[in-house]
Every structure is written in C-alpha cells, then in structure tokens.
Amino acid sequence: MTYSETIEDKILSLINETREFFIVAYNKKSQQLLLSIKRLEYIRGWKRIKQIQTEDIIIKAVVVSINKGGLLVTIEGLKSFIPNSHITTQKKKIIDIHQIIECKLLVADERRNQLICSNKCALLARFADEFKIGHIVRGEITEIKKYGLFITIHGIPALLHISEIGYKHIDNIHKTFVLGNKIQVKIIHIDTKQGRLSVSTRDI
C-alpha cells in the first residue's frame, strides 16, 4: 500500500461522518467556507483549562518531550511546560515519554498561548493532610549547605535553615549532619506557588 492510498483510505473513512468545525472564513463570491478542526479543539481546550484553573484541581498531563529545562506535556490537547524546578526528585528519576504526570496550573495565559504547570504543587495538594503548619514529618537529607539542609519529604524539597536547627550554635554543619540520614522536622512554612516547604527542628 502506497502513502497516497493510505491518505485516500483515511479520507474515505470520514465520508458521512458528522462533526463540528470552526468557521475561519467565508468567501461570498464562491460561497465557500474555510473550516478548521484544530481551531475548534484549541478553543474548547482553553475553555476546559479556564475551568480547571477556577477549580484549582490536580490534572493529569502526558509527557511528549524532555529537554534540559524540563518537560513538554499536553493538557486538554494543549501544549504545556513543567520546569525542572517544579518536578519532584522522585519523578525526575523515572520520567519517560508518554508517561502521565500529575500537575497543577501555575500560569494559564490564553492571549500568549502559555501554559506552565507544577508537579510539586500537585504533590503538595495530594499530601495536604500531612503538609500542614506545625505537623511533624520525617525526611531525608539530600543536600548540605553552609546556610542549612535540604530535606526531601515525599519528593518535596524542604529547607531546614541553620537558624532553625535547635538552639545551639553549629560550628561545622557538614560534620554535624550526614547525607542520606533521615530526621524529624516540623513544618513552619508552605509555599504553594513554588511547591516548597520550610521546616524546623526546634520544639519537637
């Protein structure tokens, strides 16, 4: 079967099929309409996106490509981007093409045709009962800096600033803590826009 025959078969299969189109233009002289299926799907997609934005719900996106900056995904037939800074550490290890990833909308600008989402914010919402101010949780030390520790809790990064590590002065934080160790911390701040936590070991 040739390529032209394949296209012809597809066209024949659409004969007598009823569907909706978007009218792009009308030629009065020839009395012909210029129709578009993609434009109709685009309009409907943005209509659903606006509803999702209003309801502030977790959505499922399909990964279509991966680059150094993050993930290109599709939501309601529209292309969206998830920056690396908004992908949980757990997901970064297993992401692949065609995989479904949960996310929440960060930016939805129809005029600029811009959609930006966050996997971290979706995870924060998923663990909303556990991620609350004052709750004590357990996390793994994944980074040690002069100014504090980064702890991963259910894939979400949490900053334990050196000023929130107990009440005693720490001379050398690198000698005091070990990468990979798990510690208990108390949640003191939740950044729902960036999908980040701030924690403390005081008063636990």
CA dist., res. 71 & res. 144, Å (int)? 27
Q: Tell me the C-alpha distance between 61 and 119, whole Å.
A: 10
**Pairing state between β 148-153 and 136-145:** antiparallel
pLDDT for res 45? 87
pLDDT of residue 3: 46
37: region left, alpha or beta (phi > 0 left; psi from -120 to 50 alpha): alpha
Q: What pLDDT is attached to residue 119?
A: 94
Per-residue pLDDT of the chain (204 residues; tens, 9 = 90+): 444 455 555 545 545 555 544 444 545 555 554 444 566 677 888 999 999 999 999 999 999 999 999 999 999 989 999 999 999 876 767 788 889 999 999 999 999 989 999 999 999 999 888 899 999 999 999 999 999 999 999 888 899 999 999 888 888 899 899 999 999 999 999 998 888 899 999 988
Q: What is the pLDDT of residue 23?
A: 46
User: Cα(130)–Cα(136) distance, rounded to whole angstroms?
Assistant: 9
Domains of the chain: 58-122 (2.40.50.140), 127-200 (2.40.50.140)
pLDDT attached to residue 190: 94
Give the pLDDT score at 33.
43
Which helix (DSSP H) or strand (DSSP E) does residue 12 occupy? helix 3-14
Amino acid type, 23: I
